[in-house]
Amino acid sequence: MSLAKEQLETFAEQGHLTVTGLLSEADVDKATSDAMAWANETLGNITPMDEHWYLDAGATGRHLRKLDDPVHYRAIFKALARTPLLVQAVEQLIGGHGVTVYFSQIFFKPPEGGGPKPIHQDNFYFGPSDPDGMVTAWIALDDATIENGCLYYGDGSHKSGLIDHIAPQDEPFNLQLPAEAAASANMTATPVARGGISFHHGITLHGSGDNNSSKWRRAVAFHYVRNDVTFVSPAWTFDPEMAERIS
Ligand SMILES: O=C(O)CCC(=O)C(=O)O
List the domains of the chain with CATH numbers. 5-43+52-159+173-245 (2.60.120.620)
Give Cα 107 to chain centroid, integer Å.
Answer: 8
**8 Å CB contact between 109 and 238:** no
Residue 42 — pLDDT band, cuts 50, 70, 90?
very high
Which of 136, 138, 165, when mutated, tests ligand 1's pocket best, judged by the most ligand atoms within 8 Å of its CB?
138
Q: Is the minimum distance from the CB of 220 to ligand 1 under 6 angstroms?
A: no
Q: Is the minimum distance from the CB of 56 to ligand 1 under 6 angstroms?
A: no
- DSSP sequence for 136-189: EEEEESS-B-TTTT-EEEETTGGGS-----B--TT-TT--B--HHHHHH--EEE
pTM of this prediction exceeds 0.85: yes
**Diameter over CA atoms, the chain:** 49
Q: In 10 A of CB 155, how many CB atoms?
A: 15
Q: How far does the centroid of ligand 1 lie from the alpha carbon of residue 12, in Å?
A: 20
Residue range 56-65: mean pLDDT, rounded: 92
Whether 10 shows a pLDDT value over 80: the answer reads yes
Protein residue whose Cα sits closest to atom 7 of ligand 1: 207
Tens of pLDDT, residues 65-76: 999 999 999 999
Q: Is the minimum distance from the CB of 54 to ligand 1 under 6 angstroms?
A: no
| Closest C-alpha among 165, 172, 90 to residue 134 | 90
Q: Is the minimum distance from the CB of 126 to ligand 1 under 6 angstroms?
A: no
pLDDT score of 233: 96
Q: Is the minimum distance from the CB of 102 to ligand 1 under 6 angstroms?
A: no
Tens of pLDDT, residues 140-184: 999 999 999 999 999 999 999 999 999 999 999 999 999 999 999
Q: How far does the centroid of ligand 1 lie from the alpha carbon of residue 96, in Å?
A: 25
